[in-house]
Amino acid sequence: MIRLQPRRVAAWNGLGASLGLDGRATEAAKVFAEAVELAPDDPDTRIRLAFAEHGAGNDGAAIGAFLEAVRLTGADSFPHPAALGLLLLAADRPTEALEWLRRSRPDEGDYARARFELARLELAGGDVAAARQALAEALGADPRLTAEAARDPLLSGLRSK
């Protein structure tokens, strides 16, 4: 398909998705980068690139691609605030991470982890009520996090207060 329609973004995105599903994240990222060259204003392609870069271990590039997608969609329409927040947190950018983790939504795959980390950040910032709410949302979305919360020195007493 690429050879037949080399300027068709959907063909590049399909190839990138196939490579990603095959566990070839580095190759997928290169393919999505080509697609971005063809359609620099397409936020979906930038988001695909971000996930591929993350899969390839290039979290700085993933954050950059996500932030470009945010620029294109607007913060309120960006579909993956949990993923961006978690990447920013891993990159030791807690202030930015807090903004995005607060925007996480139940329909996101990383929602429970995002709310769990949000609880930690809110508590560290002194907002016990927001931390308690975020932790309740995390545990409601994934009860398996209960044991982790009990072991966490910051969160362990939050539920009983």
Question: What pLDDT, in 10s, does the model give residues 120-150?
Answer: 999 999 999 999 999 999 999 999 999 999 9
Asked whether 135 and 116 are in contact (CB, 8 A), the reply is yes
CATH topology of domain 1-79: 1.25.40
**pTM assigned to the model:** 0.89
Alpha carbon 50 to its chain's center? 9
Query: Taking 90 as the threshold, does the pLDDT of residue 70 lie above it?
Result: yes
What pLDDT sits at residue 4? 46
Residue among 84, 77, 90 at smallest CA distance from 102: 84
8-16: average pLDDT: 87
Amino acid at 127: D
Work out the mean pLDDT of the chain and round it to a whole number: 92
The two tokens of residue 102 are 């607060």
CA pseudo-torsion sign 51, 54, 59, 61 = negative
